[in-house]
Amino acid sequence: MSAQHNELRVGMVGYAFMGAAHSQAWRTVNRVYDLPLRVRMAAVCGRDESQVAAAADRLGWQSHTTDWRELVARDDIDVIDICTPGDSHAEIAIAALAAGKHVLCEKPLANTVAEAQQMAEAARAAQADGVRSMCGFNYRRVPAVALMRQLVAAGRIGTIRHVRAVYLQDWIVDPDFPLVWRLRKDKAGSGALGDIGAHIIDATQFVTGQRITRLNGLTETFVTERPLPAGSSGLTAAAGGGADGAAPATGAVTVDDAALFMARLDGGAIASYEATRFATGRKNGLRIEINGSLGSVAFDFERMNELEFYDATRPSAEQGFNRIIVTEPEHPYLSAWWPPGHGIGYEHSFTHQARDFVEAVAAGDDPAPSFTDALQVQQVLDAVERSAGLGEWVAVESAFSTAPS
Ligand code: SOE
């Protein structure tokens, strides 16, 4: 970091949905929280010169480039923020860490366990030189989810029996939705499983403090062929296409549309998970419920400023799910925002993520979730795909079973 100016100079690679969310966070974090370092949005990187120049202007970046290697090599950049599709996470993160840059990398960490292992090893090696790294599982930074963890950690629901989590979307229900990168294994690694299933895996492990050890899963691809997007590169048409007005060329969907699995956690809980892009009518329906011996907590992203808490220790005549409005200053992250009852949104979780990252870098701490935490999520994703292929229970290889390096 630029010590003389107490600045943290960020270079971001990628500027689509996640790049826009991260840009909003970098723009606001110092205006909302009193932090020891001031973020400078130094540069944004993208492949197309005119598009990345427009993105720099729209999102508030001071400069732009089309070469991420140039960004990594600059000595006036302290942080590389990776907001690209998963097929480039490993190459960019490993180069950035080797160059002594702190790294924030979007989820899932990588497209394969092997890549995630290389990233986690590179992060551990860089740690010795004070280089910090974090994976961007933003939902753990929704205040109601962080409050869920506080209640569970305080024993308010007792021994955890059940973990129940779904992440439901419907943006590709239309078979004519084009074959975008999230539907290609070579770009995304997996489909709903890694894109949104990773979120509920991380969030439930974060809330419970327990890790998934064994699971039995299935995946499904409902629509196996889709029209190629305009200007597709690197794709071979599966059928059709051509200037004669025939049906647009199509390409094969090579990832899951939906994934379901049941699991055992290392603290004794049993769990069910569902991630799908075919839950017609559910736009971003992330729901988590944890049932314990003394009560339950339940979160629904469609009501993200609320948490339901059932306290079984209350007199039976008073029992029922208590709807906590999570907007009090004592609730996680909320002290910096609005007076009670006003609420916050999806984008605020990214500002909370940026705050935690900046505070950790300033303090010389390692932010969470680490690349090793994210590697463990990747191992769960891999186990679901192995189980789906075998049709049986499989063990989750654990990132934490290896001896600390
Ligand atoms: C698409 O499913 C997506 O943009 C995910 O990639 C994000 O992680 C999620 O927060 C919203 O939906």
Q: What are the extents of the domains in the chain?
A: 7-137, 139-395
Domains 7-137 and 139-395 agree in fold: no
| 403 Cβ neighbours under 8 A, 6+ residues apart | none
Q: How far is CA 348 from CA 26, 56, 204, 344, in A?
A: 11, 21, 20, 6
Closest CA to 76 of 30, 166, 7, 135: 7
* Residue 54: strand, helix, or coil: helix
How many angstroms separate the alpha carbon of residue 195 from the centre of ligand 1?
6
Predicted local confidence at residue 234, as pLDDT: 58
- The encoded tokens of residue 273 equal 């998970």
Residue 200: predicted pLDDT: 98
Look-up of token digits 């403090």:
209
Res 400: pLDDT: 75
List the CATH code of the domain at 7-137.
Answer: 3.40.50.720
pLDDT at residue 361 in the model: 98
**Using CB atoms within 10 A of its CB, is residue 198 exposed (0-12), middle (13-18) or buried (19+)?**
buried
pLDDT at 292: 98
Instruction: Give this prediction's pTM.
Output: 0.95
Give the per-residue pLDDT at 399. 74
Q: Which residues line ligand 1 (CB under 6 A)?
A: 17, 169, 195-196, 284
State residue 403's pLDDT score: 44
Instruction: Tell me phi and psi for residue 254, to 5 degrees.
Output: -115, 20
Confidence (pLDDT) at 172: 98
Ligand 1 pocket test: pick from 89, 109, 170, 195 the residue with the most ligand atoms within 8 Å of its Cβ. 195
Q: What is the structure's pLDDT at 39?
A: 98
CATH says 139-395 is which class?
A: alpha beta
State in Å: Cα 196 to ligand 1 middle: 6
Give the model's pLDDT for residue 402.
Answer: 45
Give residue 5's identity as a one-letter amino acid code: H
What is the separation of C-alpha 294 from the centre of its chain, rounded to a whole number of angstroms? 30
- Alpha-carbon distances of 18 from 14, 85, 106, 230, 350, rounded to whole Å: 8, 10, 8, 22, 9
Q: Which atom of ligand 1 is nearest the CA belonging to 199?
A: 8
Q: Looking at ligand 1, which residue's alpha carbon is closest to its atom 10?
A: 196
Q: What is the pLDDT along the chain (405 residues), one digit of tens a residue?
A: 555 579 999 999 999 999 999 999 999 999 999 999 999 999 999 999 999 999 999 999 999 999 999 999 999 999 999 999 999 999 999 999 999 999 999 999 999 999 999 999 999 999 999 999 999 999 999 999 999 999 999 999 999 999 999 999 999 999 999 999 999 999 999 999 999 999 999 999 999 999 999 999 999 999 999 999 987 765 666 665 555 656 669 999 999 999 999 999 999 999 999 999 999 999 999 999 999 999 999 999 999 999 999 999 999 999 999 999 999 999 999 999 999 999 999 999 999 999 999 999 999 999 999 999 999 999 999 999 999 999 999 999 887 754 433
Q: Residue written as tokens 């606001």?
A: 28
CA 13, CA 33: separation in Å to the nearest integer? 25
Q: Are the C-beta atoms of residues 135 and 370 closer than 8 Å to each other?
A: yes
Supply the pLDDT for residue 232.
75
Q: Which atom of ligand 1 is nearest to the CA of 138?
A: 10
pLDDT score of 5 = 72
Bridge-based pairing of strands 270-276 and 258-265 is antiparallel
